[in-house]
Amino acid sequence: MAFRIGIFIITLVLIIKIRMCVSQINRQSFPKDFVFGTASSAFQYEGAVKEDGRGPSVWDTFSHSNGGKILRNSNADVAVDQYHRFEGDVHIMKDMGMDAYRFSISWTRIFPNGFGVVNQAGVDHYNKLIDALLAKGIEPYVTLYHWDLPQALEDKYKGWLSPLIIKDFATYAEICFQKFGDRVKHWITFNEPHTFCMMGYDVGLQPPGRCSILLHKLCSSGNSSTEPYIVAHNVLISHAVVADIYRKKYKKIQGGSVGISLDVIWFESATNSKEDIEATQRALDFTLGWFLDPLIFGDYPKSMKSRVGSRLPKFSKSQTSLVKGSLDFVGINHYTTFYAMHNGSDLLQVALHDYISDSAALTLPFNGTEIIGERANSLWLYIVPQGMRSTMNYIKQKYGNPLLIITENGMDDPNDPSISINDALKDDKRIRYHNDYLNNLLASIKEDGCNVKGYFVWSLLDNWEWQAGYTSRFGLYFIDYNDNLKRYPKKSVEWFKNFLN
């Protein structure tokens, strides 16, 4: 018995030492040119939706007429008021030791109707934000489109469903290059096109709220079998046109780069069966591959072409030439990992005939016997740190090790009014999350040779989280929604200060 207890104690000590060793990473553990920052979006942060000439976006419309699609029927009219408080927010980024800030420009602040005369007040605002960042030594990373389509373009020609949007998006992007490109060197054309194609045009849970299956009573119109693919096609061409404009007219003078941010849930096969392994690959093809295959190889994944058939748009030769290779880096938004298994119900695909059923892959956080990891607050967010390393290696192996930037990574706590602010600031789970995901990211770089150059935390502040409204807290800083949106540093702020400094 004594021998067994001794062995147990020795083993426990070793585990603790290993754990301490694993945790002792910091900025110096990463390559010298590696960038650390936080990420945000205009609609979730700015507020001031009717100030200084800003026009309405589809999210303004959706959040005010959502029919219960947003928890507690909230909206982002004020959000966290960064439009007025950006100087203070820049200060706390600097205090933490962050190198960069990823934010998005609101299209309707530049063109209130999506096109026409430039709104100078909008340009002035972003000039002030960019200058404030640079004055503190913080590099701006700018997203051109983070889901807030001008409502006027949705009304005029149904937005992303029409190829007319390609020209309007290119005009908007070029104005941004002209007005801000002397200081902005990192451009992201789109944030998570997979998400807004699926959520807006297949299941109707995001604007413009179009669908024809399952949730059809929530949607006044739509065709879930075709529209997600049409929208994605127009997005890819829009990205490529904008990248081409930048390369031909601005890159030599401004010296910047253009990329795109893609959301990636990592998928593990639910079993070792051939069917589930193949389904896992299809799940990746229908999410990451839907966009990255055309951008790297010039066409959609074979599994998509086979299963979607004539409903999947085709690239012309000139479009293929334009789209292929039209990025300088790939932004990856990675939060979680799911199991994938074969969905053998042909009846389901025939009945639904939509993007989700087309993949014949069922993706869930459990495989029938176990949960894949500890859950955060969001129903979709399970903590599986090794998924980060797997994702990086998959992209390296399949796509030729392109330059990657983790443009979003983080986890949320609930916005629980019964929890005191002091207790809400003790976010040890978030600290463990970032520590463990960063350890796996570092291993992918140092041990596996993955070409990753940056990591952006979602998010600096608690904010308005789309359908979750204010019920979800992703921030390093706690926002007191009951007291003038005061910012309080959570325990994770101190952890990042130590990590970065």
The catalytic residue positions are 192, 408
DSSP reduced 3-state for 329:
strand
Three-state SS letters, 346-390:
HHHHHHHCCHHHHCCEEEECECCCCECCEECCCCCCEECCHHHHH
Integer angstrom CA distances of residue 226 from 290, 361, 385: 14, 19, 35
Helix (H, G, I), strand (E, B), or coil: what is residue 208? Answer: coil
Q: Which two tokens stand for residue 119?
A: 């709104």
Do residues 145 and 107 lie in contact, with contact meaning Cβ atoms separated by under 8 Å?
Answer: yes
* H helices present in 266-342, as ranges: 274-284, 290-297, 302-308, 317-323
What count of residues does the chain have?
Answer: 501
CB 486 within 8 A of CB 86: no
Distances (CA, A) of 425 to 81, 420, 492: 21, 9, 8
Which amino acid appears at position 321 of this protein? S
Task: Give the integer Cα–Cα distance in Å for 287 and 283.
Answer: 6
